[in-house]
Structure 1
Amino acid sequence: MDSYDLVIANGVCVTAADVAPCDVAVKGEKIVLLAPSGSLAGAATKRLIDAEGGYVMPGGIDCHVHLEEPSLFGQGSSADSFESGTRSAVAGGNTTVVAFAPQQKHLDSVLAALADAHALARGNCYCDYGFHTLVANPSPTALSEFPRLAGGEGVTSLKVYMTYAALQLRDDEILSVLLAARRSRLLTMIHAENGDALAWLTDRLEAAHLFAPRYHAHAHAPALESEATHRAIALSALLAGTPILLVHVSEPAAARRIREAQAAGQPVFAETCPQYLFLTRDDLDRPGFEGAKCVCAPPPRTRADQAALWRGLRDGTFAVLSSDHCAFRYDDAAAGKKTSVSPAHPVGRFRHIPNGLPGVETRLPLAFAARKLPPTRFVEVSSTNAAKLYGLYPRKGSMIPGVSDADLVVWYPAGALGEFALTNDMLHHDADYTPYEGRTLDNWPRYTILRGQVVWDRDGGGIVGEKGFGKFLKRERSSLHGIWETVEEEGPFDLEAL
């Protein structure tokens, strides 16, 4: 009989395609065998995990995570380093994250920004990781570096913003990025809000002395997101259907426009995030400054909007559920949310509240407890589609013997934990709060396994992996729905002539 390094017996394996009782055998860093449930319980192995009927799934892949970024807006800096952010990730069932390498507007090179991000992450990560470049200055130098990103650097995606003075690109600049990205087969992620209208609304609200956190939702009106989404899709279509991904979609009208583009055959993809499924704009209206804990962009919307977004996750409008983890400490006047508080503004100025929420550790448990997605769809939006979309499949996001890394999350059997309240002291990030404090859950990742090694054992020490075990992942181009194989080269004009 073969011997293994790890066997997970008596589990119910869930992939994006199937649910089946199976045992899993691991040798080295790979899954090597899926066998009928219970058949490997007596196998020769260095370690046996009895899943006791719990789900066994591919490890979570969170491809929208902000860690240890420079202060891009003059106020606030990330609460989480690569060490604390990836520690939090594995405690929440994630085996891979993709973070950002942000180019600042006054710099020409995106490769220099990538080198800076590598220096911060190298040797400090508990899970595997990759990078997206964040393009704030599409200079000739930056655009000329795109082929190297896609080639030797293994960075096959980038992000642009349609808002924020420190990051906002005009439409002509976005077109230049899209064209260069198309030629290098880079997927372009877009933060779609109308920055000019947002700035105008913010100025008008402040002129009326409306400064509290609740007015953040007024400034980031839903129409600003749906308009910018429509415009991003139009710019993509202008360049013969260049693939784009709309990030952190919060608004049903934007989701409908995305769905229309998808139905018309455009390679338009989208993600949503837990904050739009579990928070509402009422959370920004908590007493005093408390609403700042839920300030992110776009902001949470309404309960009816939540229902529409869940439908989008079920019907495929949204390919991925990401966290957009961007943690700032709340009770921190030097680098956190309270940098916006002053004697003149005791409840802060919403325009200066650092935008972002912690969420990499709570993404999977919140969505799992909601029971609004079939198990296969849960795996698809939390792991498999991310692997395909960002060039990691089938090494990641799957359970194919001999092919897939042994990246797994093992849940408790149904009912084993009972109901419990989520509290920040359960979590492993470096933020001093969670916006989901007190929410009722009934399960949590029992084990997180990265390349065959148990890195999270909730009952046996918690974090048991080592800092630095996480590896940088060089990614291939996106394979979701064969977007680069089917994208047309023809357009309303000769792209090669541009």
Structure 2
Amino acid sequence: MTNAYDLAIRGGTIVTAADRFKADIGVRGGLVVEIAERIEGAAEEIDATGLLVMPGGIDAHVHFEQPTGDGTVMADDFASGTRSAAAGGTTTVLPFALQEKGKSLRQSVMEYHKKADGNCYVDVSFHLIVTDPTPQVLGQELPALIQDGYTSFKVFMTYEDLMLTDSELLDVFEVARRERALVMVHAEGHDAIKHVARRLEESGKTAPYYHAVAHSMVAEREATHRAISHAQITDLPIVIVHVSGREPMEQIQWARKKNLKVFAETCPQYIALTADDLKGLNMDFEGAKYVCSPPPRDAANQEAIWEGLRDGTFDIFSSDHAPFRFDGPNDTGKNNPRARTSFKWVPNGIPGVETRLPILFSEGVSKGRISAERFVQLTATNPARLYGLYPRKGSITVGGDADITLWDPEKEVTISQQILHHGPDYTPYEGMQVKGWPVKTILRGRIIAEDGEVVGAKGDGAYCARDVSGLI
């Protein structure tokens, strides 16, 4: 007798972005084929009694194996980065294919595919990063890539080797508008940061903590307003990524009152860390472990982020996983001689792809700040809708991929480097106590992680071409 289903998940509480209910799930051929009060006749069964059954997480903002240009090396390749994602309950990640200045955008994308192909434990889809918008890129490569399913890309308003001028931003925005692509904006005012950094260095203030002073909220707020203004001029929907506090949030709220399509993302570092973490033990170099841009702010801005997570200011919650070793071999990590001379040379970025979901669940759902439904919306459904993966991804629905994470809402874990699966040699969340933990991660009907161990194989993950955003 042939089994009707490959897998049945039985007895759990299904949580979607809209509701929760007790039901069984039947999976066949990697898809959810039935949701019913009782599912019988499966080749494999999972008893989910007492567990929350949620869509697999979608981390829409991660950096793997990305060139840095300064001799430092990212600590995660596609294998270690996606393995870490699987352990943390995430089933789809969206890394960036970076165009290095002077290189073809198409060539850059092909190089990223070579790095990813056959090396992923979870599904992947690429955003682009446009750094060199030549006539060839704007007229041919970018439109063709968007039509090929690379329907979102990122631009920078800071970093010498990545940033676009205002004129270039407007040119790129026009192409995106015409081709219906979604643009993600790293909004920090480069000249303001450079000016403050120079003054700090002249005063001998070079410790990692001063990164947070140079990358001020004023610079973030100003750039956010400027990005919105450029989007208004070109009639383009944009995403302001990694928003750190109240002032940029107010710019986004202002834009929405004007009926502009401005979406917003925030990250774990803005609810779990503060600028004081960059002080290290006594303004020492340990603070470099927390250097990212924009930097964490203060307790008042943490509360502002929670307001935005509750009231809908934020559409998605991503990790901005940008992993470096602290002690990298051959001076390739954060603790390198040049970085020790000034905060401005410390590699920007912290790891977080594995800890993103547990931190938000614990600080949000377990502490009553947000509902489990809102958690699913922020971490799975909205990213899928925003970036053209819905309804295949992001929800537990008949016909969709059986990407499912089982959560034990009562499980208490202390985050430590020892239990994580990423490439860096530290976690900025060392010692953090969390309540609620993913105990099984299922990718297209196959268990890829359970009870803290990755049991899937390199190559289980597939590349996903995307449609245009379902929200624009």
TM-score (norm 1): 0.91
> Which residue number in structure 1 is paired with residue 11 of structure 2?
10
Per the alignment, residue 355 of structure 1 pairs with 348
The 1-side partners of 2:309 and 2:138 are apart by 34
User: Residues 395-414 of structure 1, C-alpha deviation per residue, up to 9 Å, x if partnerless?
Assistant: 0001111x2100000012x4
Q: Quote the Cα distance in structure 1 between the aligned partners of 2:217 and 2:49.
A: 46
Structure 1 residue matching 2:321: 3-state secondary structure: coil
Structure 2 partner of 1:491 = none
Contact 1:244 1:269 (C-alpha < 8 Å) held by counterparts: yes
Query: Contact 1:340/1:349 (CA < 8 Å) preserved in 2?
Result: no
Secondary structure of the residue that 1:293 maps to in structure 2? helix
- In structure 2, give the amino acid aligned to 1:259: Q
Name the counterpart of 2:176.
181
Percent of aligned pairs with the same amino acid: 48
Q: Does 1:253 align with 2:247?
A: yes
Q: Contact (CA 8 Å) 2:236, 2:261: kept in 1 or not?
A: yes
The match for 1:135 is 130
Is 2:31 the partner of 1:30?
yes
Q: Name the structure 1 match of 2:192.
A: 197
What are the Cα deviations for residues 277-333 of structure 1, in whole angstroms up to 9, with x where unaligned?
100000001122111110000000001100111111111111000000000001226
1:271 equivalenced with 2:259 (yes/no): no
Whole-Å separation in 1 of the counterparts to 2:33 and 2:413 = 36
State the AA in 1 paired with 2:382: N
Superposed CA RMSD in Å reads 1.3
1:390 and 1:149 map into 2 onto residues whose CA distance is 15
Q: For 1:394 and 1:142, how far apart are their aligned partners in 2?
A: 31
Following superposition, which runs of at least 4 residues in structure 1 exceed 2 angstroms of deviation?
Answer: none
Counterpart of 1:103 in structure 2 is 99
User: For the residues of structure 1 that align with 2:200 and 2:351, how far apart are their CA atoms?
Assistant: 27
- 1:479 and 2:470 correspond: yes
* Alignment partner of 1:455 is 2:448: yes
1:466 corresponds to which of 453, 457, 460: 457
Letter in 2 for 1:283: D
**Distance in structure 2 (CA, Å) of the matches to 1:340 and 1:213:** 13
- Residue 392 of structure 2: aligned partner: 395
Query: Is 1:146–1:184's contact at 8 Å kept on the other side of the alignment?
Result: no
| Partner residue, 1:284 | 278
Q: Distance in 2 between matches of 1:91 and 1:193?
A: 32
Match of 2:301 among 305, 322, 330: 305
Whole-angstrom CA distance in 1 between matches of 2:337 and 2:326? 11
Q: Which amino acid aligns with 1:468?
A: G
Contact 2:12 2:23 in 1 (8 A): yes
Q: CA, structure 1 residues 221+398, in 2 after alignment: closer, same or farther (shift >3 Å)?
A: same
How far 1:259 sits from its partner (Å)? 1.1
Q: Give the 3-state SS of the residue equivalent to 2:54 in structure 1.
A: strand
Please state whether the residue corresponding to 1:473 is helix, strand or coil.
coil
Q: CA deviation at 1:200?
A: 1.1
SS in 1 for 2:178: helix
Q: Is the 8 A contact 2:331 2:337 kept in 1?
A: no
Show the 5 A alignment for 1:214-229: 214-229=209-224
1:2 Cα deviation from its structure 2 partner? 6.1
1:224-276: CA deviation from partner (whole Å, max 9, x where unpaired): 0000000000000011x211000100021110110111122101001000001
Distance 1:130 1:4, change over 3 A: same
Find the counterpart in structure 1 of residue 22 from structure 2.
21
Unaligned runs of 5+ in 2: none
The equivalent of 1:335 in structure 2 is: 332
| Residue in 2 that maps onto 1:321 | 317
Deviation at 1:167, TM superposition (A): 0.7
Give the Å deviation of 1:420.
3.1
Amino acid at match of 1:465: G
Alignment of 1:33-112 (within 5 A): 33-36=34-37, 39-40=38-39, 43-72=40-69, 74-107=70-103, 109-112=104-107
| Matched-pair contact (CA < 8 Å) for 1:330–1:431 | yes
> Structure 1 CA distance, aligned partners of 2:337 and 2:355?
26
Q: C-alpha separation between the residues in 1 aligned to 2:43 and 2:152? A: 39
Determine the C-alpha separation between the residues in 2 that align with 1:435 and 1:340: 21
Work out the CA distance in 1 between the residues paired with 2:177 and 2:383. 20
Q: Which of the numbers 373, 381, 388 marks the counterpart of 1:384? A: 381
Q: Distance in 2 between matches of 1:383 and 1:362?
A: 15
